[in-house]
Structure 1
Amino acid sequence: MTTRALVVGGTSGIGFAIACRIAAESASSTVISSWNEPKTIPYANIEFRPLVVSSMRLINQSTNAFKTSREQSLDLLVLTQGIFTMTGRSRTTEEIDNKMALHYYGRQRLIRQLLPNVRENAKFLVVLVVLVVLDGMRGRPPAKLNWDDLEVMAHFSLSIIYAIQKVLSLALDVSPDACAENLLKGLNERSAEVEREGKLWCCIDVKGQLVPNKLAWGEKELAKAANHTWKIVDCGLTNA
């Protein structure tokens, strides 16, 4: 199957394995965007484009350039950027915590920037599939979130780090290549399932299986999260 993919953060580990699996189909094309270029690029149809993925301003610049390029249509957007660290809060030059910029705000900005272009080029593309690689199993339900501290400024603790490390330990039980295979296979299978059910999203595990009993957020919670997200992103763009 021919796939036009943008893999953000795909310079090593699961992200790089996903990029290589897509590029193994000779008719497909893959762009990897991250800080550093991979040590080796095994396929001629993989292109590297540098991007500071924690910067909202540079994400804007990169996506605007991508949208005006001749390869502007996409089938798959894969977001794998992130870090595992035991350090505390560390702000970027845009006054956003670096970990939050990588794991959440930057990902949301990329999706928001690229989706309108997909719709404008509908004659080339019907659906953009977005694969967010982090943890589809865990996450607090809306009732247990601290809605007054979504940026985790007042309540950041090592317990959050511990939860992230548990996710990492689970992922280490599966090789990056096997995980990439599972995720891409699961993505294709689950996407077809949720489309038939009229849904727009689902959560899968490292084996590509559907995570059962995931609580869907209501319109009120989604609006709160969206308002918070774009307030932080817009402030970051102002501070850039």
Structure 2
Amino acid sequence: MTIRTLVVGGTSGIGYAMACRVAASSPHTVLISGRTKPTNIPHSNIEFRAIDATSMRQIQRYTADLKSLTPPPALDLLIMSQGIMSTAPRTETPGEGIDRKMALHYYGKQLLIRELLPLMTPTARVVIVYDGWLGSPDKLLWDDLDLKTNYSLKASADHCTSMTDGMIQWWAQDGNSPKGMSFVHAYPGGVNTNLMRDVVPGFLQGAMKVAGNVLLTSPDKCAERLLEGAEKVAEQGRRWSNIDNKGKLLGKKAVWSQEQMGKVAEHTWGLIGRALEGEGA
């Protein structure tokens, strides 16, 4: 079967739920990728391929391997939900010099789009699950976009969120993507996943689990809403969209200027290029 859907970050949480929902309704192969293969793969048309999505060079090798498959994937849907919850200070990726959280949450996703674009169908949908709500060009430190000198957890979140907003607009307008493609930045809201396990003390884990079951959305319900929302905005002919945790269009998002999009794109490809050449450290 041809691979029609790729979910990076699809081995747990929201990405896993989205992959399972697509697989249940599709006769085609759904490829899920992350560091570790899930113990439970409930559908026979789900396959796993490992990736370290913090490394630009590993992403490049991963995408080259996909492009060499026979038959090659014909991607209708690319979902990227990879992420970590960490309070660690700036921690650079070995030999590439990119903060690990920013590599995972932003830079690696842009490289995946670029390298996989030749495999995407003319009406493919790209869905980035991160924070389609709070980004704004006003939140960027334009002279330090990769936060080499002004790093903080808040600044990292602001930059990854905001630059993702800018780049979905860039891909839709200047990124040489087919006119029928759509790019969506989705805000999942509070979802009952294991993402908090690395930052919540062990003695609070039980309470967190109980509270999560009551207060948070299940991954499956979140997956349903985001997939339906992404499909709806694509059907409306929107080239780029930000959607909320109900799958509804966030209509008040800023439209970035050509200069703003250009600066973010130039920075992104320059930093990724230096990382691939081993010049970023």
Partner of 2:104: 102
Structure 1 CA distance for aligned equivalents of residues 189 and 251 of structure 2: 21
State whether residues 91 and 98 of structure 1, in contact with CA within 8 Å, keep that contact through their aligned partners in structure 2.
Answer: yes
- Change in CA separation of 1:145 and 1:158 when aligned onto 2, cut-off 3 Å: closer
Distance 2:97 2:149 in 1: 15
Give yes or no for the alignment of 1:136 onto 2:132: yes
Q: Which residue of 2 aligns with 1:122?
A: none
Return the offset for 1:235. Answer: 1.1
Runs of 4+ in 1 over 6 A off after TM superposition: 161-164
TM-score norm. by structure 1 comes to 0.88
User: 1: distance between equivalents of 2:60 and 2:90?
Assistant: 24
Cα RMSD of the aligned pairs, angstroms, is 2.2
% identical equivalent positions = 44
Q: Secondary structure at the match of 1:190?
A: helix
1:170 matched to 2:190: yes
Partner of 2:82: 81
CA distance in 2 between partners of 1:34 and 1:158 (Å)? 23
Report how far residue 161 of structure 1 moved.
Answer: 7.2
Cα distance change, pair 161–232 in 1 and its aligned pair in 2 (3 A): closer
Q: Which residue identity does 1:92 align to in structure 2?
A: T
Point out the more displaced range, 23-32 or 230-239: 23-32
Structure 2: state its 5+ residue gaps.
161-186, 193-215
Name the structure 2 match of 1:47: 47
What displacement does 1:67 show? Answer: 1.4
Q: Is the 8 A contact 1:4 1:74 kept in 2?
A: yes
Measure the CA separation in 2 of the matches of 1:187 and 1:174.
18
Cα–Cα, structure 1 residues 33 and 181, in superposed 2: closer, same or farther, change >3 Å? same
Equivalence map 1:1-240=2 (5 Å): 4-69=4-69, 70-93=71-94, 94-118=96-120, 125-140=121-136, 142-160=137-155, 170-172=190-192, 173-193=216-236, 195=237, 199-239=238-278
Distance in 1, Cα, partners of 2:188 & 2:127: 18
CA pair 159-59 structure 1, distance change in 2 beyond 3 A: closer
Instruction: Name whichever structure is richer in strand by fraction.
Output: 2
Which residue of 1 is the match for residue 201 of structure 2?
A: none
Counterpart-to-counterpart distance in 2, 1:102 and 1:162: 12
8 A Cα contact 2:129 2:188, kept in partner: no
Question: Is the 2:82–2:105 Cα contact (8 Å) retained in structure 1?
Answer: yes
User: Which residue identity is paired with 1:96?
Assistant: I
Distance 2:188 2:18 in 1: 17
Structure 1: any 5+ residue segments left out of the alignment?
119-124
Q: CA–CA distance in 2 between the matches of 1:143 and 1:23?
A: 39
Cα distance in 2 for residues equivalent to 1:59 and 1:14: 21
CA distance in 2, matches of 1:14, 1:46: 16
Aligned pairs, number: 226
